[in-house]
Amino acid sequence: PILASTGQGSHIGLFSYYLVLNCAIFFVAWFKSWRLLNVIGFLFTFVIASFWGVTQYRSAQFSSTEPFLIAFFLIYVAISILFSIKQKPNLKGYVDGTLVFGVPMVGFGLQSALVHHMEYGLAYSAAALAGFYLLIAYGLRKKASSNLQLMSQAMLALGIIFATLTIPFALDGCWSASSWAIEGAGFVWIALRQQREILKYVGLALQLLGGILFLI
């Protein structure tokens, strides 16, 4: 579609074509762990989507563009989970960091470009992603499979990150500082109860950021 394009084509046709290709990649991932194919599909899809967004996107096209972004996002999150499930025995427990962390980073970047003109658009988007990742983390944890534990922890971390981002996007500086301080105290409490050293430092860092933001 890139080589044949005259620059006047429909973005719906373009993204529909890539949606079909990505569904095929998902179909392959369902049966086989093929990382190179997954990464190539991810890069081509989001690089071309980003290029189109920068050069041609208009806010009036939001309703016809957002569904494709959500679909691409869900496909590659699912593929990243399948990659962990389908790993060879000697690689059990590994995750594909390119997809696990690249998909939310690029996806949220594109989403911010789509909703920048909407009041609280970023806050709602971050909150939706937080709920999505926390729900996945809970579901993977319930599976109690050793090779999914690292994936569950990665999803939990992403859920916490997006939940934290929701606060400054939705509230002013004073409320953000207070919320981060409370959230940091919660992390410290959990760290002390569960003997998780890393959570203690995360909580202290959040409290420090909250204090700095309050002073500013």
Work out the percent of the chain whose per-residue pLDDT is above 70.
Answer: 70
Confidence of residue 54 (pLDDT cuts 50, 70, 90): confident
Residue 74 confidence (pLDDT): 95
Residue 120 confidence (pLDDT): 82
Nearest to 73 by CA among 9, 118, 26: 26
Cα(75)–Cα(77) distance, integer angstroms: 6
Q: Answer whether 165's CB lies under 8 Å from 139's CB.
A: no
Global pTM value: 0.77
Tokens 């500082």: give the residue: 177
The per-residue pLDDT for range 10-24, each reduced to its tens digit, is 788 888 889 999 999
Which tokens go with 33?
Answer: 């762990």
Sign of CA dihedral 147, 148, 152, 155: positive
